[in-house]
Structure 1
Amino acid sequence: MVRLALYKGRGKLGNRITRWWTGSIYSHCELVVCGVCLSASFMDGGVRAKQIDLDSGHWDVIPLPWADVAQVLAFFEQTKGRAYDWLGLFRGQLFNRGGRDGSKYFCSEWCAEAIGIPAAEMYSPARLGELVGFVRDRGR
């Protein structure tokens, strides 16, 4: 199963700026597959896999039973090592402009694209969490 993990810990300056700008408690997101976190991280330099303690109280986790594990893993293999997309983050989140080059990613963009959500560059961690929470609740 795929899960979306949303970071609500204090974090560093970039986390605080993201929370302030988006008006949310969330500043980062990861997809979790088989206990491994997959995402694009500015702290780690781009797309990577990482073991993270999601039970630290700093994360909210939403199950995505409709998400395709094979699709997420294939997307990770295709994009691992790609750089963090600062320009795309500013373009999509600060200036509300779509468009992306596909060679770099920011966290919520990477997660949204990995699970097949269109216009992935337009999602902040909070907006992505709202969308998948809505989809989850509609399926009940």
Structure 2
Amino acid sequence: MLLASYKAIRPGMQGIANRLIRWRLDGDYSHNEVVFEPGDGVDHLMPDGTCEPDASGALWCASSVAWERLPATSPRRPGHRGGVRFKRIKLDPAHWDLVKYRRDPLAAAQHFKRREGALYDWQLILGFVAWLFRHKASRDTCSEVCTEAGGQLEGHRVDPCTLHQIVAAEDRHFRSLLWLAAAGEEAAY
């Protein structure tokens, strides 16, 4: 399982939103997706029954979106705009930074299945600008649902830039432990 963080600028109004989010957060990312890979063991939870890439190389991703229409496969609110959804995305490295998300893929996929169709949390986004707006527990932003899919509580306290930095730091730490363990085994010989 991977965390994908969006670093490109989309055309039109979404591009303005990309720039505003990055400006407000003083960071590189405006959106997060959890990416399910072959071998994650969650094929049965994906809309088409597989985590294998499609013909174009797109993988199943899950997140919450503001303007996008929910797919026909969504059990709640199909065709409506905004909310938690599964979507196949071709993860172009020019648009996305990917990092290993070392969490339980089964628990993450189940979390997204439970939340699928839940409304987008506009109040939380407005709360980043004006403290008068409070987060709604029944709604999700991208970083919020991706954080909670990873097992952390209070995902509403995490933004796209912070989530990427946390997951990247955990991955670096894990890889350094593997390197130290391998170096220790070599020294024992």
TM-score, normalised via structure 1 length: 0.89
Asked if 2 retains the 8 angstrom alpha-carbon contact of 1:47 and 1:83, the reply is yes
User: What is aligned with 2:61?
Assistant: 37
User: What is aligned with 2:183?
Assistant: none
User: What is aligned with 1:55?
Assistant: 92
- 1:1-140 residue pairs with structure 2 within 5 A? 2-11=1-10, 12-34=15-37, 35-44=59-68, 45-55=82-92, 57-64=94-101, 66-91=102-127, 93-95=128-130, 100-139=135-174, 140=176
Structure 1: 4+ residue segments shifted above 2 A: 93-97, 99-102
Structure number with higher relative contact order (C-alpha < 8 Å, ≥ 6 residues apart): 1
Asked if 2 retains the 8 angstrom alpha-carbon contact of 1:40 and 1:46, the reply is yes
Structure 1: which 5+ residue stretches go unaligned? none
TM-score, normalised via structure 2 length: 0.67
Deviation track 1:7-36 (CA, whole Å, cap 9, x = no partner) reads: 001122211110110011210010001321
User: Identity, % of aligned pairs?
Assistant: 32
Structure (1/2) with the larger strand percentage: 1
One-letter amino acid of the counterpart of residue 102, structure 1: A
What's the RMSD between the two structures over aligned residues?
A: 1.9
For these two proteins, the number of residue pairs brought into alignment is 137
One-letter amino acid of the counterpart of residue 81, structure 1: G
